[in-house]
Amino acid sequence: MKILYVGPTLPDARERAGDIIVHGPAIQGDVFQAVEEGAAVIGIIDGGFEYTAPVWHKEILYALSAGVTVVGAASMGALRAAECHLFGMIGVGKIFQEYRDGIRVDDSDVAQVHGPEELGWLSLSEPLVNVCATLDALVDRQILSSGEADHLSAVARSIFFKDRTWRSLLEHADLIDENRRSPIAAALQRLAVNQKRADAIELLTVMSQFADIRSIPELEWQFQRTTLWNEMVKQHSVARVTGNLS
């Protein structure tokens, strides 16, 4: 069984997933549950983080220790892959590479506001990783000067992730010549690069290449069942029995 956790980064994931079972963004306990249910390959793209406990590194280690292939990209998956790749988690895509190499360090670079699944995970803000990818593309196409791109990048970083949109970006860009605002706005809308989506699609390709079978792990570390881990397992077991597990 292959399981993928994804939401606003790839709203059409189910149409692209083939034999991969698609769930919404991962929260704490989801990966543990997937392992207990027999998953052989787990992909993480999106994850909850503000109003719920995020997917725990410990449960990823648990999955790896059980021979499960765990792959991450694009959003929460890229963060967890950068943090856990030394333990065997596989990272995919440019965003993962930037976190792994220390080019990016702020979790909020991938954060975005979005609507519910019922509204197609409608995006309501622009994640910084997409802004930066777009600015780089416009410089490469000589639509933006490097100075304009540097200024817009700095402005984008200064805007709280919930408020970051193409409109708010230009509204705060006080060093952009007034004659340049209209063509820049048009270029940002027309040529925007969705790096998160690109990395998510790459993850689907990688997941499809793995056999749907657990491996015999050869690890240089040993999974430790700590007090916190045992408490999480206990709470999870109670939730399953009472039917309160989403």
Residue 130 Cα to chain centre, angstroms = 12
Q: What is the pLDDT of residues 171-186, one digit of tens each?
A: 999 888 888 999 999 9
Is residue 33 domain-shared with residue 81, that is, in the same domain?
yes
DSSP state of 8: T
Total count of residues recorded for the chain: 246
Secondary structure (3-state) at 167: helix
Is residue 185 domain-shared with residue 203, that is, in the same domain?
no
Is residue 99 domain-shared with residue 16, that is, in the same domain?
yes
Report the pLDDT value the prediction gives residue 201, as an integer from 0 to 100: 98
Rg (CA), the chain: 20
Is residue 200 domain-shared with residue 99, that is, in the same domain?
yes
Task: With respect to residue 150, please indicate whether it lies within any of the assigned structural domains.
Answer: yes
Q: What is the pLDDT of residues 59-93, one digit of tens each?
A: 999 999 999 999 999 999 999 999 999 999 999 99
Sheet holding 90-92, edge to edge: 21-23, 2-5, 41-44, 69-73, 90-92
Contact between 111 and 49 under an 8 Å Cβ cutoff? The reply is yes
pTM of the entire predicted model: 0.92
CA 175 to CA 65: how far, in whole Å? 52
Is residue 6 domain-shared with residue 59, that is, in the same domain?
yes
Task: With respect to residue 112, please indicate whether it lies within any of the assigned structural domains.
Answer: no
Looking up tokens 């690109």, which residue turns up? Answer: 198
Buried b (16+ CB within 10 A) or exposed e, 48-59: bbeeeebbbebb
